[in-house]
Amino acid sequence: MGNWNESIEQLRRIIRDSNRIVAICGSDMVSASGYTDLESDEVFYDIELKYGASTSELYSSRCYNTRPEKFFEFYRNEVICEKQPSAGYYALAELERRGKIRSIITKDIHGIPQKAGCSRVLEYYGNIYHNECPKCRRQYSIDYVKQSDKVPRCETCNSVVRPKIVLLGESVPNHAMTEVVNAISEADILFLLGVTDPFYEIEKMTQYYSGDKMIYIRKTMMEPNERVNIFVNDEVDKVLPEAII
Ligand SMILES: [Zn+2]
């Protein structure tokens, strides 16, 4: 435990001296808040059985365009859901109240950091609460999508309303990527919190960080990486609330 306590003390010192923290929230933080990873092996067969297709087929612009009824059946049942943020998000919100946060970067689309009280959030995959008619740009609430019969249609022009999220097979919009790069390049501390996905493109974006406080917190071990200055091998929900005391 000596090492653990030393790491916490070290984090406290570093956090005390910083005011441009950028935190990247990974999928461990999302699952710690109770959300199911729809691309994980655990739910693969359930999804196949229930919809006759895989998550990657259903959660795609192709499905939205060619089989909107199927897309919205899956979207309403599996994607839209409300859970409570885990402790790590509340720690970030507290740091933000203290004026220490530059940006919180997340691939989550459920607005979890905002539910914990964070506002400096970059959601580069979008957000389920923003829905728009792709033709006339009229905005719709999540309730409109939830309550629609089969497919939500625009009341003005009858087009199929589109959740403003990046679907599988689509690229992240340029402006979202630019915001992420700007935030990372201006960070004094760069936290990678529960980031475990091997192909998570955000990890590549860390090349824009030029500081010497790149800090990984995650419960699974990682390959040695010379760019990582501190690695704390534990759950974000345990480490971060301690580190801000
Ligand atoms: Zn419209």
Could you tell me the distance, in angstroms and rounded to a whole number, from the CA of residue 123 to the centre of ligand 1? Answer: 24
Could you tell me the distance, in angstroms and rounded to a whole number, from the CA of residue 157 to the centre of ligand 1? Answer: 4
Could you tell me the distance, in angstroms and rounded to a whole number, from the CA of residue 135 to the centre of ligand 1? Answer: 5
Return the sign of the alpha-carbon dihedral for residues 52, 162, 119, 190.
Answer: positive
Could you tell me the distance, in angstroms and rounded to a whole number, from the CA of residue 77 to the centre of ligand 1? Answer: 24
CA nearest to 193, candidates 76, 81, 111, 87:
87
Q: What are phi and psi of 189, to 5 degrees?
A: -110, 135
Could you tell me the distance, in angstroms and rounded to a whole number, from the CA of residue 156 to the centre of ligand 1? Answer: 5
Could you tell me the distance, in angstroms and rounded to a whole number, from the CA of residue 137 to the centre of ligand 1? Answer: 6
Could you tell me the distance, in angstroms and rounded to a whole number, from the CA of residue 56 to the centre of ligand 1? Answer: 27
Helix (H, G, I), strand (E, B) or coil at 24: strand
CA nearest to 24, candidates 198, 174, 172, 200:
200
Angle at 241 between CA 238 and CA 244, to 5 degrees: 140
- Distance CA(177)–CA(21), nearest Å, equals 18
pLDDT of residue 227: 84
Per-residue tokens: 245: 């005391």
Domain boundaries, the chain: 2-35+84-125+169-243, 36-80, 130-165
Could you tell me the distance, in angstroms and rounded to a whole number, from the CA of residue 131 to the centre of ligand 1? Answer: 11
CA nearest to 236, candidates 75, 113, 103:
113
pLDDT of residue 200: 65
pLDDT of residue 235: 96
CATH fold group of domain 2-35+84-125+169-243: Rossmann fold (3.40.50)
Residues 6+ apart with CB under 8 A from 159: 133, 134, 135, 136, 153
Could you tell me the distance, in angstroms and rounded to a whole number, from the CA of residue 184 to the centre of ligand 1? Answer: 36
Could you tell me the distance, in angstroms and rounded to a whole number, from the CA of residue 43 to the centre of ligand 1? Answer: 35
Query: At 12, which amino acid appears?
Result: R
Low-confidence spans in the chain with pLDDT less than 50: 1
Q: Does the model's pTM come out above 0.85?
A: yes
CA nearest to 23, candidates 242, 171, 236:
236
For residue 148, how many C-alpha atoms fall within 13 Å in the half-sphere facing its CB?
A: 22
